[in-house]
Amino acid sequence: MDFATPKGSNSQVKGQRRGIKKPPFFCPFYMDGKAVGGIYMNTNVNANRATLLISCPERPGIISTVSNFLLEHNANIVHFDQHTTDPMAGIFFMRIEFDMNHFDESFSKLKEDLPEMAREYSMEWKLSGKGERKRMAIFVSKMDHCLLELLWRWKSKELEVDIPLVISNHPDMREVVEGFGIPYHHVPITPDTKAEAEQKAVELLDGKADFIVLARYMQILSPSFISKYPNRIINIHHSFLPAFVGANPYARAFNRGVKLIGATAHYVTNDLDEGPIIEQDVQRVNHRHTAQDLKIAGRHVERQVLAQAVAWHVEDKVIVHGNKTIVF
């Protein structure tokens, strides 16, 4: 890992003379909104890498058993994270990234043998290979800031997903979405046609999407729809709930004199805006901010929080436990 150096500096020139290649991605550090330095990060991932998520009742020997299991299947562990709610009688969570030679054959055998080990420890597990790209459908209404953040990150390959379609209850975003080469489906909704509109969305999604992101989609999904994508629908909302429910929350927050603007990204459940939280963030504001300033600040936070939550979901870094999440 090479620390960034100013262009034309002696250390950079010496590196060029030694034939050191510049890493492919520069990650800046920010302070008070300004880039103040950074490190180069190599974003290339081994194509033979896989990820295993595990949750099970806590008991001695889990780590040893899983590690030996992977070793027996010619897997080399490269990242390992764990958490337990109680070392004596809690729930144990684990995330492991590992590389495998002769990936297709080894991965297939590991997947075939994994259920036997899982039964012994009453494990819930999820196994995925890096070559398995998730398919992300986006729902949006009229506000474009979260949608554009996702599309920009997808276009720049920061989000390693496929986007098979965008669904909206308004036609406003069609030109933007189709400009990225993504199909756009306008499905109007009225109180009388809500059931039919949801059924139309289900038909459009059938066989095309692994999870859904509500990028400021201003409709409440029915329990029937949610049940088709358990812990696979991600929503974003401002942090004023439950204090300022309904329309014009930023105007009411301004009138109340709030000092923090924030956002919450969570999985959607039948309890409105109360699903397992994936990510949250805040930005401090003060008396100098107008209601419009608060709205702009809120949009910035919403974009970042939603994009981070989606990235963690895509990278299999989230395990849902009850109404909470463990994010590795």
**How many domains are contained in the chain?**
3
Look at residue 88 in the predicted model and tell me its pLDDT: 86
Structural domain including 284 reads 134-327
Mean pLDDT of 72-93: 94
Residues 194 and 218 in one domain: yes
> In CATH, what number is assigned to the domain containing residue 163?
3.40.50.170
Cα gap 231→126, rounded to integer Å = 13
Q: Is the pLDDT of residue 39 over 70?
A: no
Residues 224 and 318 in one domain: yes
Integer-rounded Cα radius of gyration of the chain: 23
Cβ-Cβ contacts under 8 Å for 116 (sequence gap 6 or more): none
Residues 33 and 79 in one domain: no
DSSP string, 51-111: EEEEEEE--TTHHHHHHHHHHHTTEEEEEEEEEES-TTTSEEEEEEEEEESSHHHHHHHHH
Look at residue 238 in the predicted model and tell me its pLDDT: 86
Backbone angles phi, psi at 238, to 5 degrees: -70, 165
Per annotation, catalytic residue among 172, 273, 281, 293: 273
Instruction: Please report whether residue 2 resides in a domain.
Output: no
Q: Is the pLDDT of residue 90 over 90?
A: yes
Q: Is the pLDDT of residue 69 over 70?
A: yes
Cα gap 328→326, rounded to integer Å = 6
Cα angle 200, 274, 55; round to 5: 95
Q: Which amino acid is at 215?
A: A
Residues 184 and 72 in one domain: no
Cα gap 286→301, rounded to integer Å = 16
Asked if 281 and 304 count as a contact pair (C-beta separation under 8 A), the reply is: yes
Residues 145 and 100 in one domain: no
Catalytic residue list contains 32: no
Residues 202 and 304 in one domain: yes
Report cis status (omega within 30 of 0) of the bond before 242. yes
Residues 75 and 120 in one domain: yes
Instruction: Please report whether residue 1 resides in a domain.
Output: no
Map tokens 């262009």 to a residue: 7
Residues 33 and 95 in one domain: no
Q: Which of 129, 155, 188 is the last residue before a domain boundary?
A: 129
Residues 249 and 320 in one domain: yes
Q: Is the pLDDT of residue 242 over 80?
A: no
Backbone angles phi, psi at 155, to 5 degrees: -65, -35
Name the average pLDDT for the chain: 87
Residues 101 and 139 in one domain: no
pLDDT greater at residue 110 or residue 42: 110
pLDDT tens across 162-173, in order? 999 999 999 999
Look at residue 215 in the predicted model and tell me its pLDDT: 98
> In CATH, what number is assigned to the domain containing residue 105?
3.30.70.260
Identify the three-state secondary structure at position 114. Answer: helix
pLDDT tens across 181-205, in order? 999 999 999 999 999 999 999 999 9
Identify the three-state secondary structure at position 327. Answer: strand
Look at residue 166 in the predicted model and tell me its pLDDT: 98
DSSP string, 274-295: -SPEEEEEEEE--TT--HHHHH
Cα gap 159→319, rounded to integer Å = 19
Task: From 123, 121, 128, select the one nearest 54 (Cα to Cα).
Answer: 123
Instruction: Please report whether residue 5 resides in a domain.
Output: no
Look at residue 244 in the predicted model and tell me its pLDDT: 72
pLDDT band at 292; cut points 50, 70, 90: very high
Residues 125 and 138 in one domain: no
Return the percent helix, strand and coil in the chain, to nearest 5.
30, 30, 40
Whether this model's pTM surpasses 0.85: no
pLDDT band at 30; cut points 50, 70, 90: very low
Residues 152 and 217 in one domain: yes
Task: From 222, 144, 153, select the one nearest 184 (Cα to Cα).
Answer: 144
